[in-house]
Amino acid sequence: MQENRSGRKIHHERESRLSLEEFIEKAPDFTTGERIAVREILESVAEGGREVSHRLALGPLHGLTGSSGQVNVQGEEVQAFDEIAQEVFSGLLGASGRVSVLVSEEREKPEVFPCPTDSFYVAMDPLDGSSNLAVSGPVGSIFALYRSRDGNEDPSRAILESVQDVVCAVYVLYSVSTLMVVAFREEVRMYALDPASGGFLPLPGPVRFPDGGGQIVSINTANYTRWDRGVQAYVDTLHSHSSWSARYVGALVMDFHRNLLKGGIYIYPGDLPKGNGGGHPEGKLRLLFEAIPMAFIARAAGGLATNGQKPILELPATHIHQRVALIVGSRERVQEFSRISGSPEPN
């Protein structure tokens, strides 16, 4: 690490830039065939990210920033771009010949694709935070790759039984730049889309939560009265600290990404129904499409993720659209949350 003229520490080229191919090549735990399959799946994600990024940029000109008029399996309004991103990624991942089962936040049932050889199961949220599009705010796409198993005829069961076998997680952040963040078991790398060449070019890495864990807290405090006492106690404590900063975009990929680079914690706890119903007693976010991929990336970057009771990566899954409370961020901030809220401390 170096210091600039004002004495601020800068993580300048602190290690290396690895192309996506080089990163996949050095990832642990894969056979040669699996490594080829991972590469082809990530190439499909990159191609989809490029396509979605391009179409998002033109969205306002085509009147595509609002609702599609449909409601999804979660009972939520489907934005036009939820469906566009679903079609783009499902088409590319299916055609890769390397994804045998694909589950998506936007589809009630798994899609099954014929795969002659090494393949993985994939869970995705094709466009997370899509309500931000109405104001040209950041959104993201999230993916997790799970090791596939022989002999399970029911694709839902197959993926549910593999959730603790996640081998790679990726998100694409569509913001002022389009970034792809890729994690294998022990390392996270970041790539930026060069719109001129269409390539995702490597940025310096590996990416780790900063030393000390940072001071940013991302939580929707409008839900305060509907949280349990532990979460309220945590937020109460924050108000007596002068060092913390609140930042909340309402798009998990953006909020997580900021906290990964700057240091901090993202929290979406369970909350009780509002007067008019609603509420998310189990948490709002989905275990397969949002919590597991972010937990995997956080762990590979030195951080932690819990539902308040157990590490996210140790939770069993009973339903592909299962919701979960999510507390994810730097090790220091997640352990501090657990101490103050009186929940078991993850390690």
Q: Which residues bind Mg ion (CB under 5 A)?
A: 125, 128
Contact 150, 162 (CB under 8 A): no
Nearest distance from C-beta of residue 3 to Mg ion, angstroms: 39
- Residue 38 or 139: the one with the smaller Cβ distance to Mg ion is 139
- Residue 118 or 255: the one with the smaller Cβ distance to ligand AHM is 255
Nearest distance from C-beta of residue 195 to ligand AHM, angstroms: 24
- Residue 39 or 284: the one with the smaller Cβ distance to ligand AHM is 284
- Residue 158 or 253: the one with the smaller Cβ distance to ligand AHM is 253
Nearest distance from C-beta of residue 328 to ligand AHM, angstroms: 11
SS3 state at 327: strand
Nearest distance from C-beta of residue 17 to ligand AHM, angstroms: 29
Residue with tokens 């050095």: 26
Contact 297, 326 (CB under 8 A): no
**Helix %, strand %, coil % for the chain, to 5?**
35, 25, 40
SS3 state at 122: strand
- Residue 250 or 342: the one with the smaller Cβ distance to ligand AHM is 250
- Residue 74 or 156: the one with the smaller Cβ distance to Mg ion is 74
Residue whose Cβ sits closest to Mg ion: 128
Q: Which residues bind ligand AHM (CB under 6 A)?
A: 76, 105, 125, 128-130, 220, 250-252, 255, 284
Q: Which does 251 bind (CB under 5 to 8 A by kind): Mg ion, ligand AHM, none?
A: ligand AHM
Nearest distance from C-beta of residue 105 to Mg ion, angstroms: 5
Nearest distance from C-beta of residue 154 to ligand AHM, angstroms: 25
Lateral strand order in the sheet of 139-147: 111-112, 99-104, 120-128, 139-147, 166-174, 178-184, 187-193, 200-202
Q: Which does 250 bind (CB under 5 to 8 A by kind): ligand AHM, Mg ion, none?
A: ligand AHM
Q: Which does 327 bind (CB under 5 to 8 A by kind): Mg ion, ligand AHM, none?
A: none
**Cα-based angle 199, 200, 204 (whole degrees, multiple of 5):** 135
Distance CA 18, CA 275 (A): 51
The pair of three-digit structure tokens given for residue 166, joined into one six-digit string: 């996640």
Distance CA 308, CA 197 (A): 44
